[in-house]
Amino acid sequence: MYLIVGLGNPEKQYEKTFHNMGFIAVGDAAELCGAKFKKKECEASVAEAFLNGQKVVFARPVTYMNNSGRAVKQLMAKYKIAPENLLVIYDDYDLPKGKVRIRANGSAGTHNGMRSIIGETGLTNFARIRIGIRDEEVNIPIIHYVLSEVRKDDYPLFADACKKAGEAAAAFAKGEDIEKVMCRFN
């Protein structure tokens, strides 16, 4: 059983912001796997698929970014998800815009959603896909930047990055080892 979580904020006003890259990418992954977001549980919107004999749950926490860990902890408990079967997709200010980086484990870095997940679950040994959002030309505080809308000129770049992240997440959901996913998509 796998749990693929995309981080973001649930309200319409945040749809096109940098902080919603995880929501977009997990939507791409779910679509590739034939899953649709139809129900709410454990403080998340969820979609389910069965791939290679395994159930896969795709989730978008509705707790807002800084409390994402609550939903992840609840989902992991409900579905008895082992840390090695959890993957989290999120925006990362520490990476240049449009870059996609996959890691098998790690710290939260500067990301409050990841801090929440690590704090709630006590885990760091789970896979993550980071979508770079930093723009060297923009000089505003991070909190304002991550909640600002992606510039129209940058839509294609971020759509491609989310698609790539979604493809990597779908490969993981289909049972591909995270090391292989890293080699293919990093």
Q: Which helix (H) or strand (E) holds 29?
A: helix 21-32
Q: Which helix (H) or strand (E) holds 100?
A: strand 100-103
Place of tokens 């899953």: 35
Angle of helix 68-79 relative to helix 112-121, nearest 10 degrees, comes to 40
Taking residue 16's Cβ as centre, other Cβ atoms within 10 Å add up to: 15
Q: Which helix (H) or strand (E) holds 2?
A: strand 2-6
Write down the number of H helices and E strands in the chain.
6, 7
Q: C-alpha distances in angstroms, 139 versus 66, 74, 92, 134, 146?
A: 23, 37, 16, 10, 12
Q: Which residues are known to be catalytic?
A: 19
Q: Which two tokens stand for residue 163?
A: 């698609």
End-to-end CA distance of the chain: 24
